[in-house]
Amino acid sequence: MALTRIGGANAITGTIPQGNIANASLGAVTALPAAISTGKVLQVVETRKTDTASTTSATYSAISGLSASITPASSSNKILVIYNVAVSSGNHAHTVISRDSGSSFVGSGVASGSRPATNTYHYEDANSSRLGTVTVLDSPSSTSALTYQIYWRTNASTAYINRTQNDVDAGYGARSASSITLMEIAGWL
């Protein structure tokens, strides 16, 4: 790195050897300083579903092949959950994410009357599907293995994942993929 002092009668120029500069280039950075104890991504797990499926269930049921498991290193760590689902329905379809049991949902809205708690809501015609993306920062307070599962339900119709409702063999009847990604985030304060 060349140094130049500008604006004086006695200009200073020279080169500092690269070995004298800590982490002289971005490529030399191999880790964050140990003093940064929060916010680091400790591990990443992903599951991708490329096959199609359907449901007519009016209550939430698991989407086969759309779950992921992670074991936090500390009970103070958070799990960042990101899921993408491509759902088609001639009526209403909803998706939610559950940690471990399926009896309670993570990051969803609040049910009211006959309106269910949900993370995504889909209402489409027969020739299209809608990609819903959800990001939730979960606080499981656990060091046990955790499984996050995507559930779905529909209302008075059949809902499909990774395909359009009519699945016509034409350009507008394309297939897609859905996924779930889990990231363990260190020591959130």
3-class SS at 9? coil
* Segment 117-132, tens digit of pLDDT: 777 766 665 555 666 7
3-class SS at 187? coil
Q: How far apart are CA 111 and CA 132, in angstroms?
A: 19
163 or 34: which leads in pLDDT: 163
One DSSP character per residue, 41-96 reads: EEEEEEEEE-S-EEE--SS-EEEEEEEEEE--SSTT-EEEEEEEEEEEESSEEEEE
3-class SS at 114? coil
Predicted structure pTM score? 0.75
For the beta carbon of residue 43, count every other beta carbon within 10 angstroms. Answer: 14
Domain regions of the chain by residue span? 35-185
- Looking at CATH, the fold of the domain delimited by 35-185 is given as Jelly Rolls (2.60.120)
42 or 20: which leads in pLDDT: 42
* Segment 122-160, tens digit of pLDDT: 666 555 566 678 899 999 999 999 999 999 988 878 888
* Segment 19-29, tens digit of pLDDT: 665 655 555 65
* Segment 51-79, tens digit of pLDDT: 999 999 988 899 999 999 999 999 999 99
* pLDDT category of residue 90 using cuts at 50, 70 and 90: confident
Burial class (CB in 10 A: 0-12, 13-18, 19+), 104: exposed
Judge whether residue 168 has pLDDT over 90: no
